[in-house]
Structure 1
Amino acid sequence: MPAGLVISAPASGVGKTTLTLALARAWRNRGLNVQCFKSGPDYIDPAFHAAATGRASVNVDSWAMDRGTIAHLVGRGADADIVLAEGSMGLFDGVAACGVSGTGATADIAEMLGWPVVLVIDPSGQAQTAAAIAAGLRDYRAGVRLAGVVLNRVASPRHEDLVRRALNEAGIAVFGALPRHAEISLPKRHLGLVQAEEQAEIGKLIDEAARFIAEHVDLDAVLQSAAKWSPQPAANGLNVTPPGQRIALARDAAFSFVYPHMLEAWRTAGAEIVPFSPLADEAPDASADVCWLPGGYPELHAGRIAANACFRSGLRGFAETRPVHGECGGYMVLGTALTDADGVRHEMAGLLGLETSFAKRRMHLGYRLAELAAPMPGHEVGARLRGHEFHYSTILAQPDTPLAVVHDATGTVIAETGSRRGHATGTFFHLIAEDR
């Protein structure tokens, strides 16, 4: 029977991902089967999880997914020895309004699955106050259990002793304390961590993190704190309809933001996925019945995309007779032009009138609930889609027919409506699940 734990923290940037990867690799090195999940809408961490464990990781999200979908997804950990769910942001951070089964907070997943929480605490600039923060998180919500804490970025032995004493007095277990160790820091980018496939040394980096964690954290104590867990049969599967039977999927460094559960759902429904690389100047497979351009970092490759005539002409030809859909970065590439961070304007596919710019950056972040005003691949008019938006581009023009009425998590209508023109559609949000 597997055991489950949630890795969380009071805030972002404290070291959740590093601890998750290090624990996963350290236990794997001991011969254990380790399964990871990511709580919340994150495209990047699951790839790091897979690199650490050798097993595919998926997202679970209480705002966008119902309990049956979450149970179905975590069921893949049934044959593991230990299951780790990495949280997002702070433990209780979510949106103000409840979604399908929660607010999107990591605490929802911890309570739903009955898994205790290991907190990563960064006591920089404080000492005993770190214990007050941990105690507050422990007592904030009755259904969430705290297993203990790992201290990160401890300044000195004296500093560690002060924090440990305070935590012990509060009745909170300390599994270990990590001194500052820059060598295991993971590189970052404006949307989060640099993707695992972009780092040739990722295996060595995770191995070093595992070695470091094993020196400073009681791995046996952490493992013993996990809750034995018997996966419950899911009443339903994944609430995702494939966009077609044979899907040409853009897949390379510019188009890599695809939720793993989406691809699983498409394949489970019988769809065939045919990847192609716009950066390699490849066109979508002519035998496909739909083309899907996911998000990624097209702004970093805009000049190359603009110069790749085979890709652009092939995409235009495909869209003459068959649907093409783009999410976020893919949506931008379907547009007329993209201006990069240096102010250089690059011509895109021109299937939509959308024009975007990174020269004037503005963050767009949050859950999205869209009601389709026009059909898109796999979904008819009136379908209600749940997703998440996170980008820094500014809309310069969005002249086409709106694809949907889009609300944020508070119910407020937003301007990023998506677009439709002919067979081309696009949205700024990434689809997570359908409302059914």
Structure 2
Amino acid sequence: MRHTFRKIVIAADRSGAGKTTVSCGLLAVLKKRGVKVQSFKCGPDYIDPMFHRRVLGVPSGNLDSFFTDAATLRRIFTKRVVESGAELALVEGVMGYYDGLGGVSSRASTWEIAHILNAPTILVMDAKGASVSIAALVRGMMEFGEKMSAENGRSTPGRPACTGDSGSASPSDGCRRTEPVKKAGSRQSGIRGLILNRVSPMFYPRLKSVIEAYCPGIEVLGYLPELPELKVPSRHLGLVEPGEIEDFQRWTERVAAQMEESVEVERLLEIAGVESPLKEDKPQPDRPQPVRIAVSEDEAFNFTYEENRALLRQLGAELVPFSPLHDAALPAEVDGLILSGGYPELYRDALHANASMRASVAEAVKHGLPTIAECGGYMYLQEAIEQVAMCGVLPGDAERKPRLVRFGYVEAETRRDSVLGPAGTVLRGHEFHRYDCDFNGADCTLTKPAAGHGHAATSARSYEGIYLTDSLAAGFPHFYYWSNPAALAHFLDSCRTWRKKQQGNF
């Protein structure tokens, strides 16, 4: 019997409308009801998946249609849901629903990912201080989907059908269709329902009636009242981490209780539909020789895509977590090292005080232990962070700048043979950092992709970056290794070679 599951996208018209609050509240409601859920986040976001994980107790995932093609994204999504045994997949959107590449394109937007997944969307909108105008905004969001579909030559993004990687659907797929959508606007946009944020209980029934009258094809499924204590605080790189919210469990329970009271959860689940993924009958490759990879995991270094972890394991890695903050040295008998991104600047004094760990890392990297260091991990390898000494493997003092230095998607092409593979290896990722150095390496050509069209189009822009050697890849970009699994496989092969050298068998 095939595994069946529901799927839903929680999106918004803009950032700050309440996506994360609604997503976490819904996850908590479903968990309390005994529904097994697998969560995801659209885009290159590390913080929101941490919220999902704190609520559910299992890792969340990232889905990004710039990093991978549509077929790969669907495989990642379906495989994760099936392996988790989830009954529902909840995908939290990023920014505004149609906001994508370069701020001028719908490419890599939540709308595009909802289309690829064939998942219906629930829109969250902040309705404080508005009435009939909200109906105009909702209708515009729905009708804009028609325009985008026409421009991109796409089929309906939100149709309630079962799809495999081919995007086909048929009754033999074993799925049950939900009822037909009333108007083309909701079909092309994929928007099926609406949750209003910061609305008074007394005004909500009238606002619901106005919206549904002017926006046929969409259902207003509920609201959250204005509750200042539920607002999630931010810092310079986005939301604070859930561990920094005082009594996070109480926060979650409060949001969930409110949603049980004022959101039609059962109707939302009906809109989510039911699908059965197509079975893949592909031969399984021989499992490579296992290697032990030390991976930084603590308060300072915790930005690692769950998909990267899964790919590492699939390619034969045993992941060995360690803490640069709290441990005295690297784990014993490891064959490689991954220093993840994070917030080392917030813990620079504690990192500096742990001199034995800094010495352990520096010695290992200098002696050729295959190492990947991204963003915060790269800063840790430098001489200093704001004049506070770090590992000293690489030159530079990372200093805070008045504004974001690099922001957005990037494609990197290596200029030399390295631990990531031969010259010309291409990886996709993103940069998002306020700290910077005078020089950040020059072994890759980094390109911000062109986006948009017409007067709003942006041009591609290239610059140098990243340090590469036969044993080290270090720089500010965070890479999503499903964009080029061969690069990660090459890294692990370098780790196997390192092990043989240490054993005297090379």
TM-score normalised by the chain length of structure 1? 0.90
Report deviation, 1:394. Answer: 2.9
Superposition map of 1:13-412 within 5 A: 13-75=16-78, 76-78=80-82, 79-95=85-101, 103-142=107-146, 143=156, 144-155=189-200, 157-158=202-203, 160-169=204-213, 170-171=215-216, 172-199=218-245, 201-233=247-279, 245-319=291-365, 320-339=367-386, 345-358=387-400, 360-398=402-440, 400=441, 402-410=442-450, 412=460
Q: CA RMSD in A?
A: 2.7
User: Which amino acid counterpart does residue 473 of structure 2 have in structure 1?
Assistant: T
User: Which amino acid counterpart does residue 111 of structure 1 have in structure 2?
Assistant: H
For 2:468 and 2:420, how far apart are their aligned partners in 1?
14
For 1:214 and 1:165, how far apart are their aligned partners in 2?
21
- Partners of 1:71 and 1:231 within 8 A in 2: no
- Partners of 2:420 and 2:473 within 8 A in 1: no
2:222 is paired with a residue of what secondary structure?
Answer: strand
Moved more, 18-27 or 178-187: 178-187
For 1:37 and 1:104, how far apart are their aligned partners in 2?
15
Moved more, 224-233 or 205-214: 224-233
User: Which amino acid counterpart does residue 93 of structure 1 have in structure 2?
Assistant: D
Aligned length: 423
For 2:299 and 2:281, how far apart are their aligned partners in 1?
36
Deviation digits for residues 235-263 of structure 1 (CA, Å, limit 9, x no counterpart): 999xxxx9x93211111111100001101
- Partners of 1:5 and 1:118 within 8 A in 2: yes
1:370 is paired with a residue of what secondary structure?
Answer: strand
1:107 is paired with a residue of what secondary structure?
Answer: helix
Cα separation, partners in 2 of 1:359 and 1:235, compared to 1, 3 Å: farther
For 1:119 and 1:202, how far apart are their aligned partners in 2?
25
- Partners of 1:293 and 1:331 within 8 A in 2: yes
Structure 2, unaligned stretches of length 5 or more? 147-155, 157-188, 451-458, 487-506
2:465 is paired with a residue of what secondary structure?
Answer: coil
Per the alignment, residue 456 of structure 2 pairs with none
User: Which amino acid counterpart does residue 412 of structure 2 have in structure 1?
Assistant: A
For 2:388 and 2:7, how far apart are their aligned partners in 1?
48
Report deviation, 1:30. Answer: 1.4
- Partners of 2:419 and 2:471 within 8 A in 1: no
2:196 is paired with a residue of what secondary structure?
Answer: strand
- Partners of 1:69 and 1:234 within 8 A in 2: no
User: Which amino acid counterpart does residue 34 of structure 1 have in structure 2?
Assistant: V
For 2:395 and 2:282, how far apart are their aligned partners in 1?
39
Cα separation, partners in 2 of 1:327 and 1:309, compared to 1, 3 Å: same
For 2:120 and 2:233, how far apart are their aligned partners in 1?
29
Moved more, 300-309 or 351-360: 351-360
For 1:146 and 1:405, how far apart are their aligned partners in 2?
39
Per the alignment, residue 160 of structure 2 pairs with none
1:154 is paired with a residue of what secondary structure?
Answer: coil
For 1:180 and 1:95, how far apart are their aligned partners in 2?
32
Moved more, 210-219 or 149-158: 149-158
Which of 2, 9, 13 is 2:12 aligned to?
Answer: 9
For 2:36 and 2:61, how far apart are their aligned partners in 1?
16
For 2:483 and 2:330, how far apart are their aligned partners in 1?
26
For 2:201 and 2:472, how far apart are their aligned partners in 1?
58
- Partners of 1:403 and 1:426 within 8 A in 2: no
Report deviation, 1:412. Answer: 2.9
Deviation digits for residues 338-382 of structure 1 (CA, Å, limit 9, x no counterpart): 21xxxxx21221111133211544342101100011344443321
For 1:98 and 1:245, how far apart are their aligned partners in 2?
43
Per the alignment, residue 430 of structure 1 pairs with 478
Deviation digits for residues 259-300 of structure 1 (CA, Å, limit 9, x no counterpart): 011011101111111121111143223422221111000110
- Partners of 1:375 and 1:403 within 8 A in 2: no
- Partners of 2:443 and 2:464 within 8 A in 1: no
Report deviation, 1:155. Answer: 4.7
Report deviation, 1:58. Answer: 0.7
Structure 1, unaligned stretches of length 5 or more? 340-344
Per the alignment, residue 342 of structure 1 pairs with none
Identity among equivalent positions (%) equals 33
Deviation digits for residues 106-135 of structure 1 (CA, Å, limit 9, x no counterpart): 111111121111000112232211111111
- Partners of 2:401 and 2:434 within 8 A in 1: no
> Which of the two has greater helix per residue?
2
For 2:330 and 2:17, how far apart are their aligned partners in 1?
41
User: Which amino acid counterpart does residue 110 of structure 1 have in structure 2?
Assistant: A
- Partners of 2:50 and 2:241 within 8 A in 1: yes
2:31 is paired with a residue of what secondary structure?
Answer: helix
For 2:237 and 2:138, how far apart are their aligned partners in 1?
28
- Partners of 1:118 and 1:147 within 8 A in 2: yes
For 1:68 and 1:416, how far apart are their aligned partners in 2?
31
